[in-house]
């Protein structure tokens, strides 16, 4: 019996790539120079697609994939994937929610603490010999008793909140609507949350609905003593306004795992001591990526066996 043909947009990891190769006939899109041409030539019998939140799905490809039934993506976010366009063609879409909640929440707290305790400048201070020369390192800021505002209190936001409670922080959040299941204070406006917060952590989804939601006004409301922590999507923050606010002291600090134009972080940030920069590694632990990869495989396998993915995205 011939194997089901799938299109793999990019490499995932060795384990997932091997499993895909064993179970399916895999077309490797990342190896092709002319992707649309390749899809036009070989796409006819493709029934499944594997991609990631980073690499997404180009809607133009769908024309050349008339038999496509399912897309399985590594990552919880799907701002790079036009899910309604898939559904309009009767293509199911599955992402990898939940398995990365703890890991991304850990990253948010790691960034928050690295920023407040000046961890990176402190590390440099030891390495460059300043400590050895008896220079004094500036005092950092505590987090206990400080106000933490969470933008987007979904499962990752709640995992951040639980951790921050352990650090003795006060917690409020802003969502489109109040979540009656939680006891944290609700701020109906983002600007209200930013004014109240010492630390503003972004855990909301990306996409059109949140594009540049953290604007100049929000950053200035957070203020010269405030810190922005972003583990969601770079698009949520107006990056130009962020650079201006940081360089004019209108925002105290920023700790960023995501950027508007990845993998390009704005070079202006590189010389700033009050920023922490990471290369979008919120879910990037061995354990979490293994679980995400397994869910990518399971979504595909479950679809071809039972006609539906395990973790579908609706809407
Ligand atoms: C990954 C992510 O970096 O889950 C997401 O939405 O952004 C991250 O976990 C991504 O899936 C890798 O493409």
For the stretch 47-65, pLDDT in tens is 999 999 999 999 999 999 9
Q: How far is CA 38 from CA 9, 41, 42, 112, in A?
A: 12, 5, 6, 45
Q: What is the DSSP letter of 229?
A: E
pLDDT, position 149:
99
Residue with tokens 């969470």: 150
Q: Do β-strands 147-151 and 199-202 pair in parallel, antiparallel, or remain unpaired?
A: parallel
Q: Is 77 in the pocket of ligand 1 (CB under 6 A)?
A: yes
Extents of the domains making up the chain:
5-99+287-306, 101-277
**Can you list the alpha helix ranges (DSSP code H) found in 117-154?**
119-127
Segment 297-302 shows an average pLDDT of: 98
Query: Exposed, middle or buried by CB within 10 Å (0-12, 13-18, 19+), for 176?
Result: exposed
Question: What pTM was computed for the model?
Answer: 0.97
Phi and psi at residue 270, to the nearest 5°: -65, -30
Q: What is the pLDDT of residues 72-109, one digit of tens each?
A: 999 999 999 999 999 999 999 999 999 999 999 999 99
d(CA 20, CA 93): 17
- Judged by DSSP in three states, 235 sits in helix
Under DSSP, the state recorded for 2 is: P
Of these residues, 3, 262, 287, 308, which one is catalytic? 262
- Quickly name the fold that domain 101-277 has: Rossmann fold (3.40.50)
Q: How many CB atoms lie within 10 A of CB 311?
A: 18
Distance from residue 164's CA to the centre of ligand 1 (Å): 23
Active site includes 268?
Answer: no
Atom of ligand 1 nearest to the CA of 54: 13
Atom index in ligand 1 nearest the CA of residue 96 equals: 4
Can you say how many angstroms the Cα of residue 116 is from the centroid of all Cα atoms in its chain?
Answer: 22
- Over residues 176-232, the pLDDT tens digits come to 999 999 999 999 999 999 999 999 999 999 999 999 999 999 999 999 999 999 999
Mean pLDDT of 221-250: 98
Our answer to whether residue 306 is catalytic in this structure is no
Cα 152 to ligand 1 centre (Å) = 17
Count of other CB atoms within 10 angstroms of residue 136: 8
Q: What is the pLDDT of residue 146?
A: 98
Nearest to 1 by CA among 17, 32, 25: 25
Kindly tell me if the per-residue pLDDT of 271 is higher than 80. yes
Return mean pLDDT, the chain: 97
**C-beta of 302 in contact with ligand 1 (< 6 A):** no
Pick the CATH number of 5-99+287-306 from 3.40.50.720, 1.10.4190.10, 3.40.50.2300, 3.30.450.20: 3.40.50.720
35-47 tens-digit pLDDT: 999 999 999 999 9
| Residue-level pLDDT at 315 | 66
Active site residue 262: yes
Q: Whose CA is nearest to atom 2 of ligand 1?
A: 75
- 54 in ligand 1 pocket by Cβ < 6 Å? yes
């Amino acid at each position: 019996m011939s194997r089901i043909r799938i299109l793999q947009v990019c490499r995932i990891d060795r384990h997932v790539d091997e499993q895909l190769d064993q179970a399916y006939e895999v077309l490797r899109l990342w190896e092709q120079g002319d992707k649309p041409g390749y899809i036009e030539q070989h796409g006819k019998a493709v029934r499944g697609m594997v991609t990631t939140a980073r690499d997404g799905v180009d809607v133009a490809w769908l024309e050349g994939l008339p038999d496509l039934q399912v897309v399985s993506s590594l990552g919880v976010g799907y701002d790079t994937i036009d899910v309604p366009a898939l559904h309009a063609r009767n293509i199911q879409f599955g992402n990898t929610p939940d398995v990365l909640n703890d890991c991304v929440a850990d990253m948010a707290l790691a960034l928050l603490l690295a920023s407040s305790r000046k961890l990176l400048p402190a590390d440099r201070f030891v390495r460059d010999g300043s400590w050895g020369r008896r220079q004094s390192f500036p005092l950092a800021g505590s987090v206990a008793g400080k106000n933490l505002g969470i933008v987007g209190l979904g499962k990752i936001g709640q995992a951040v909140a639980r951790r921050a409670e352990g650090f003795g922080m006060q917690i409020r959040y802003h969502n489109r609507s109040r979540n009656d299941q939680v006891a944290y204070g609700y701020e109906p406006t983002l600007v209200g949350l930013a004014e109240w917060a010492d630390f503003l952590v972004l855990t909301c989804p990306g996409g059109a609905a949140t594009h540049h939601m953290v604007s100049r006004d929000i950053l200035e409301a957070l203020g010269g003593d405030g810190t922005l922590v972003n583990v969601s999507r770079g698009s949520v923050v107006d990056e130009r306004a962020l650079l201006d606010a940081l360089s004019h002291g209108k925002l105290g600090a920023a700790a960023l795992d995501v950027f508007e134009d990845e993998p390009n972080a704005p070079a202006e940030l590189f010389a700033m001591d009050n920023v922490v920069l990471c290369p979008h590694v919120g879910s990037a632990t061995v354990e979490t990526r293994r679980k995400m990869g397994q869910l990518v495989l399971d979504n595909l396998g479950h679809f071809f066996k039972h006609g539906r993915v395990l973790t579908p995205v609706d809407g």
